Structure 1
Amino acid sequence: MPRKYSLERTRNIGIMAHIDAGKTTTTERILFYTGVLHRVGEVHDGAATMDWMEQEKERGITITSAATTCFWREHRINIIDTPGHVDFTIEVERSLRVLDGAVALFCSVGGVEPQSETVWRQADKYGVPRIAFVNKMDRIGADFLGAVTMMKERLGANAIPIQLPVGQGDMFKGIIDLVRMKAHIFHEHTNGMTWDEIDIPHDLQAQAAEYRTKMLEAVSDEDDTLLEKYLEGKEISEKELLDVLRRACLKVSIIPVLCGSSFKNKGVQMLLDSVVNFLPSPLDIQGGMITGHHPNMQDTVSRKIADNEKFTALAFKIMTDPYVGRLTFFRVYSGTVKAGSYLYNSVSDKKERIGRVLRMHANHREDVDEGYAGDILAAIGFKNTRTGDTLCGEDEAIILEKMVFPEPVIHQAIEPKTKADQEKMGEALSKLAEEDPTFRITTNLETGQTIIGGMGELHLEILVDRMKREFKVEANVGKPQVAYKETIRKKVVQEGKFVRQSGGKGQFGHVWIELEPNEKGKGFEFEDAIVGGVIPREFIKPVSMGIQEALKNGILAGYPVEDIKVKLFDGSYHDVDSSEMAFKIAGSMAFQEGAKKANPVILEPIMAVEVVSPEDYLGDVMGDLNSRRGKIEGITPRKDAQVIKAMVPLSEMFGYATQLRSMTQGRALYTMQFDHYDETPKSVSEQIIEKVKGKNA
């Protein structure tokens, strides 16, 4: 079947925002106005199409990025709905990786919330062009221009309003279009399907003229011809204005700002117009090219984003569907793909057969004969593909830039309730880990316990809940445990010697290493400084492997050791008795002995915490954060509240939600996310070591 919509008429967009900014409702309204839905679904009654997992309907938060397709003004718009809770940041990150543009949603009352900043920084990282939509203009305390100021101050964005609200709060009736200088007043009785286009109300004309001038000044900076016209006082046409706004938006030098109320059905059609007018098509990204490297890791490979190019796609999400099994979501960058064909996974070096190609609409799916460049699709039949893998033709291999996933900061022991649950639990956990690369499963070798790791308490809670619902596995979960690490602070030189003579062939490995702290975040580095063959080449790698194995269990409390440099500079060997195993053990012994003398320390995860509290409780909240070893970084006023930013150790934050609620009578809110690892104070280290020793005693 030939392509229905050209690449120029394709938009791959994400809707990104803080939790509760109205993302899912906005997507619902988009589907309603584009004719995909025939009934408006509300998040608060659990009927929203995009929030299709049970937990999402119960909690009213979006957890997984559901993909859906709709059409507007003869354009295909593929939408990925992303979660706003910090524990699901990975979902946002991987969605942004395959999108071309984004709609950033802000609440007109809260403005730029902490998660808005996080998501914005993620979008900056990938250079994603975006437009901003200030939602919930019908709420008491709505402040459109206040939200725009916050975007400028807190995000450093060149946010330029291209609309103004007609009224705010209960009086919000419609919007002023600053490009056409007309007002749109929406009809309540048609669910906002119709509206009147009128002249700008008299009392808003001065404000509209002021903000149109600001918009023209900002746009003129982007184009010399337009600047000339503007300075000469000549008329600037609507087409000229839209063209330059589009170019500026694609360069991320201007963020066009719109307003509305998705819940009250106002402004969504104009938002769709702006998606088509300003956000990029696949051809606008990186000059219409996709670049990666050959599996040999040397040569750069570039391809045009076109149907007649060699096939290139990126798998960005794995999901288990109750009816069809394993679904692999992928973005096609170049070429085409048919159901039943074979593809090559250039990362795992495996061939994959694509059984069916599906276009997803939240939780229902449509079979597609053929997928084209720019499409976001799901495949059934892949067995060896993981999140971040590249799919291509075997004789034309390419590897696209891989996604990097953070290590877990929190661990919990998990045990099946019954023998029957035991078998199912392993399968359920591995399926969940396939879907979510930030969810890790390990086994404690000493106790045999299964340990799960993730990005926060809510993250693990939801995964355990999914295990119960989707896989019918009942499990007992232990208390959350902090993922501590160890490192060293001093440079030392250490010998490691492993000798075993017991008749017959013995074992002999002898090394001298220099051990020193590495830069933060650099991990483990090994330098081979052996000269003159004092240790033969074949025994060098085993030394490194022995040290790396020893790094898994630090000498203070058995936590993983990181950010360490090791230089192997001397040693000796025996012609007969030396072996790879002997040198592996010698390397491990040298490291363990050296680490004891190198001033070892314990590192703990530090969380960036932001508390929004009424002024009355400010003293209590700050006192409580200080008692949790928190470092207050700053306090800023926000409307009738104060925002406290602090760095607090994760170990001190368990149970914080309950404490904050009781301390402020439920009037304060907080968010936290992992920021960095830092050294624990001596007294805390001693407690951690005692606790570990007590367990092992």
Structure 2
Amino acid sequence: MARTLNLGILAHVDAGKTSLTERLLQLGSVIDEVGRVDHGNTQTDSMALERQRGITIKSAVVSFVIDDVTVNLIDTPGHPDFIAEVERSLSVLDGAVLVISAVEGVQAQTRVLMRALQRLKIPTLIFVNKIDRMGARHDSLLTEIAERLTPAIVPVDSDPTDLLATLDDSVLTAYVDGSLTADHLRESFVAQTKQARTYPVFFGSAITAAGVPELMAGLVEFLPSAQGDAQGPGSGLVFKVERGERGEKIAYVRMFSGTIHVRDRLPFGKVTAISVFDRGPAVPSASVAAGQIGKLWGLTEIRIGDQIGEQHLRTEHHFSPPTLETVVVPANPAERGAMYLAMSQLAEQDPLINLRQDGVISLYGEVQKEVIQATLLNEYGIAVSFEETTTICIERPAGVGTALEIIDEGENPYLATVGLRVEPGTGITFQLAVELGSMPSAFFNAVEESVHRTLKHGLHGWEVTDITVTMTHSGYWARQSHAHGTFDKSMSSTAGDFRSLTALVLVNALKQAGTVVYEPMHSYRLEIPGDTLSVVQPVLVRLRAFPLSSTPRNASYLLEGDIPAAKVHELERLLPSLTRGEGVFECAFDHYSVSC
């Protein structure tokens, strides 16, 4: 019986992820020649901008076959500015390959990706690429991987007994009584990998193909196939949305259960066409079934993250949110409306852009800003510039606050009673301390909607989070009408009354509690020549990037600490001149800290 494996290829930028994808497609007989990222002729980097810059910007799906297994391979961006593309892909994977350069080793993005894979328990193989390059490492790199990613690694050509004996009681027992066989050991190794408890390591080179056939065999042996009943209830997840040549919306969906057919009616529209991935790009199909990834046309109302069917699928965030924002400004003021429409379409493909009416967008970094600028010019003919990039801070409640407005009392202009209490919490939680039947559900829904909308802008202008909002009082006037049956709005509560009053009450409760502004902080590792330490340290202090540790390493120093997200770009700009171009800097979002 044919099997399907939905596989993600993940890596820090320039580790060779897209080159590995090309080699897998060539060995899988999908392409005759391997494309080169630097030549702009790879299968998955189809955007003109991707070919120009030599980086992956959008996740792409392509398919090949190993024995009886159809592999739907999702090539994801490696640059941290496009981590949102990776996040959307994680929710649809059966397994993953994490690519690490044998020269550069474990980098900032590598650690971020590995933490997400472990958190989601996605079975993962590690492929150490570029073993043909000058400076490639083996033993020292394995030590680095064990220390910085996970100790549960085993090179596939090594004896896994020691590790498996700590994870599998049957291996330990068989080892002690002398009955452990090679087959028993291999079965345990495979089983533990499929449970994301062990991580086989392969060494090779995507450019020369060394070690890639062994990796392909490992995909089939160590990673689990897609599960799901094609005859069961429909259940799928939309992880990518793009626009076709005619501007039509195309949704990429991973089906976990059931089958979708052409002409099926879904809450987002009627399916007018379907294609599924088969030995290369997607091909037209009458349906897409459990385990498959398909492209759906006709769903005009669908968005990234939408679920098809009734089953709840895991869609929580796996990475940190954007920490920067800027304002997009059209070169021609008359094109503001067209620019906003174009940006709205880009936000469909990347919701974390979080486009606002005033042209403000959220960003992960400066490269993302350049890509947006080039896309607007190349695809929409709209030239834009950006205001200065600023940091996105958050607010958290400093204490407990309460506020109450009673219907028809004091200066309350609305036909509603709303009492709220705010206090520190985790995330944003809305709960009731009043009877659910004390007023119509539409009014409770209006209160909750208003709470979430109001928290978008706290006392200092930033989103309020890590807060629990409790509704302590409620009241309304029932629907009133005149003798001839017409509705009397002046004597009847409406959902609008509750939305408007909730915003006022919540702000008053926040004022009583007070809020504190927190700024995003990145953890960093900085390796510099030893003789530049005295020059670099004062700059780190000025940028509030105080080292928490300083470790001498032969002729260099390894500095580790925290740096405000707002200062990362400046440090990256200054570092080459401070360290003769020899400084190696990596960082990733870590936490929020009270703003100075």
TM-score range, shorter chain: 0.7 to 0.9
Q: 1:353 to 1:139 in 2, by over 3 A?
A: same
* Cα displacement (A) at 1:50: 2.1
Tell me: CA distance 1:601–1:259, structure 2 relative to 1, closer, same or farther (3 Å).
same
Distance 2:98 2:552 in 1: 23
CA 638–431 in structure 1, closer or farther in 2 if over 3 Å, else same: farther
Distance 1:91 1:371 in 2: 23
- In structure 2, what is the Cα distance between the partners aligned to 1:624 and 1:105? 34
Mapped to 2, the partners of 1:258 and 1:536 lie a distance apart of 60
Partner residue in 1 for 2:192: 248
For 2:253, the aligned partner's letter is F
Deviates more, 1:413-422 or 1:658-667: 413-422
Contact 2:103 2:137 in 1 (8 A): yes
Instruction: After TM superposition, give the deviation of residue 24 of structure 1 in Å.
Output: 0.9
Describe the SS at the equivalent of 2:240.
Answer: strand
Which residue of the other structure, out of 152, 155, 162, is the alignment partner of 1:158? 152
User: Cα RMSD (Å) of the superposition?
Assistant: 3.6
Classify the secondary structure of the residue corresponding to 1:67: strand
Are 1:258 and 2:202 an aligned pair? Answer: yes
Q: Deviations over 1:602-638 (max 9, x none)?
A: 2222233333433333443343222122343434567
Residue aligning to 2:485: none
Equivalent residue in structure 2 for 1:442, among 340, 356, 371: 356
Instruction: Confirm or deny: 8 A CA contact 2:396 2:424 kept in the other structure.
Output: no
Instruction: Tell me if the contact between 2:416 and 2:477 (Cα under 8 Å) persists in the aligned partners.
Output: no
**CA separation in 1, counterparts of 2:57 and 2:278?**
17
**Per the alignment, do residues 427 and 161 of structure 1 end up closer, same or farther by CA in structure 2, a change over 3 Å counting?**
same
Q: 1: CA distance between counterparts of 2:375 and 2:398?
A: 42
Corresponding residue number in structure 1 for 2:60:
66
SS of corresponding position for 1:398? coil
Which of 203, 216, 222 is matched with 1:278 structurally?
222
Q: Encode CA deviations 1:7-34: one digit per residue, 9 max, x unaligned.
A: 2xx3221111222211111111111222
**Would the alpha carbon gap of residues 54 and 669 (structure 1) be closer, same or farther in structure 2, given more than 3 Å must change?**
farther
> Of the candidates 243, 256, 264, which is equivalent to residue 342 of structure 1?
264
CA, structure 1 residues 381+651, in 2 after alignment: closer, same or farther (shift >3 Å)?
same
1:137 equivalent in structure 2: 131
* Alignment check: 8 A CA contact 1:317 1:330 kept: yes
Structure 1 counterpart of 2:294, from 377, 383, 407 = 377
CA distance in 2, matches of 1:569, 1:679: 30
Cα displacement (A) at 1:69? 0.8
Structure with the bigger RCO (C-alpha within 8 Å, sep 6+) is 2
Deviation at 1:376, TM superposition (A): 1.8
Residue type at the aligned position of 2:380: F
Q: CA shift at 1:118, angstroms? A: 0.6
Identify which of 39, 43, 46 aligns with 1:45: 39
Partner of 2:458: 554
The one-letter amino acid paired with 2:289 is: Y
Native 8 Å contact 1:608 1:675 kept in 2: yes
Tell me, yes or no, if the aligned pair for 2:347 and 2:354 is still in contact at 8 Å.
yes
Q: CA 1:540–1:101 in structure 2 vs 1: closer, same or farther (change >3 Å)? A: closer
Query: What is the alpha-carbon distance in structure 2 between the residues aligned to residue 88 and residue 421 of structure 1?
Result: 27
Q: Is the contact made by 1:411 and 1:481 (CA closer than 8 Å) also made in structure 2?
A: yes
Residue 634 of structure 1: aligned partner: 549
Cα distance change on mapping 1:371 and 1:645 into 2, 3 Å: same
Give 3-state SS (helix, strand or coil) of 1:630's partner.
Answer: coil
- In the alignment, the residues of structure 2 paired with residue 272 and residue 637 of structure 1 have an alpha-carbon distance, to the nearest angstrom, of 40
Residues 31-42 of structure 1: pairs in structure 2 closer than 5 A: 31-42=25-36
| Partner secondary structure for residue 131 of structure 2 | coil
Per the alignment, residue 400 of structure 1 pairs with: 313
Find the aligned partners of 1:492 and 1:501 in 2 and give their Cα distance: 20
Q: Which segments of 5 or more consecutive residues in structure 1 lack a partner in the other structure? A: 164-211, 284-304, 445-449, 682-697
Query: Could you tell me how far 1:501 is from its partner in structure 2?
Result: 11
Give yes or no for the alignment of 1:412 onto 2:318: no
Code of the residue aligned with 1:280 in structure 2: it is P
Structure 2 residue 254 is the aligned partner of structure 1 residue 331? yes
Structure of greater Rg: 1
Decide whether the 8 Å contact of 2:477 with 2:491 is kept in 1.
Answer: yes
**Distance in 1 between the 2:290 and 2:446 partners?**
46
In structure 1, distance between residues paired with 2:474 and 2:73:
60
Cα distance per residue 1:192-212 (max 9 Å; x no partner): xxxxxxxxxxxxxxxxxxxx4
The answer on whether the counterparts of 1:497 and 1:586 sit within 8 Å (CA) in structure 2 is no
Matches within 5 A, 1:600-611: 600-611=515-526
Distance 1:312 1:60 in 2: 36
Q: Give the residue type in structure 2 aligned to 1:432.
A: L
Give, as a single letter, the amino acid of the residue that structure 2 aligns with 1:664. Answer: T
Distance in 1 between the 2:469 and 2:234 partners?
43
2:212 to 259, 268, 282: 268
Deviations 1:492-533 (A, max 9, x none): 45565898999xxx94679785654312x43254544599x9
Q: What CA deviation, in whole Å up to 9, does each residue of 1:85-124 have, x standing for no partner?
A: 2222222222221111111111112322111111011111
| Shift of residue 601, structure 1, vs aligned partner | 2.9
* C-alpha spacing 1:510/1:430, structure 2 compared with 1 (3 Å): closer
User: Could you say which residue in structure 2 is the equivalent of 1:200?
Assistant: none
Task: Note if contact 1:358-1:379 (Cα within 8 Å) is conserved in structure 2.
Answer: no
Counterpart of 2:520 in structure 1: which amino acid? P
Matched to 1:114, the amino acid is A
Residue 117 in structure 1 maps to residue 62 in structure 2 = no
Instruction: Quote the residue 1:310 is aligned against.
Output: 233
Tell me how far apart the structure 2 counterparts of residues 645 and 498 of structure 1 sit (CA, whole Å). Answer: 57
Aligned residues of 2:331 and 2:385 also touching (Cα < 8 A): yes
**8 Å Cα contact 2:545-2:561 kept in structure 1:** yes
- Partner of 1:322 in structure 2? 245
Is 1:491 the equivalent of 2:408?
Answer: no
Residues of 2 paired with 1:324 and 1:536: CA distance?
Answer: 42
Name the structure 2 match of 1:170.
Answer: none
Per the alignment, in what secondary structure is the counterpart of residue 605 of structure 1? strand
| TM-score computed with the length of structure 2 as normaliser | 0.86
The CA distance in 2 between the partners of 1:11 and 1:17, in whole Å, is 19
Which of 342, 353, 370 aligns to 1:461? It is 370
Question: Residue in 2 aligned with 1:207?
Answer: none
Q: Equivalent pairs: percent with the same residue?
A: 27
Please, which runs of 5 or more residues in structure 2 have no aligned partner? 479-489
Q: Secondary structure at the match of 1:98?
A: coil
* Aligned twin of 1:183: none
| Conserved? CA contact 2:276–2:284, under 8 Å | yes
Distance in 1 (CA, whole Å) between partners of 2:553 and 2:242 is 40
Aligned residues: 583
Q: Give the distance between the partners of 2:89 and 2:356, measured in 1 at CA.
A: 27
Residue of structure 1 aligned with 2:424, choices 518, 526, 551: 518
1:607-686 to 2 correspondences below 5 Å:
607-635=522-550, 641-681=556-596
Give the aligned residue type for 1:522. G
Q: Which residue of 2 aligns with 1:432?
A: 346
Cα displacement (A) at 1:658 = 1.4
**Distance change in 2, residues 1:21/1:648 (3 Å):** same
CA distances 1:62-95 after superposition (whole Å, capped 9, x unpaired): 2221111112234322211112222222222222
SS in 2 for 1:655: helix
- The 3 A distance-change label for structure 1 pair 477 and 324 is closer
Q: Displacement of 1:546 after TM fit?
A: 6.2
Shift of 1:133: 1.4
Tell me the alpha carbon deviations over residues 305-325 of structure 1, each in whole angstroms, 9 at most, x when there is no partner: 133333332211112233674
Contact 1:315 1:386 in 2 (8 A): yes
Contact kept? 1:498, 1:583, Cα under 8 Å: no
Secondary structure class of the residue paired with 1:273: helix
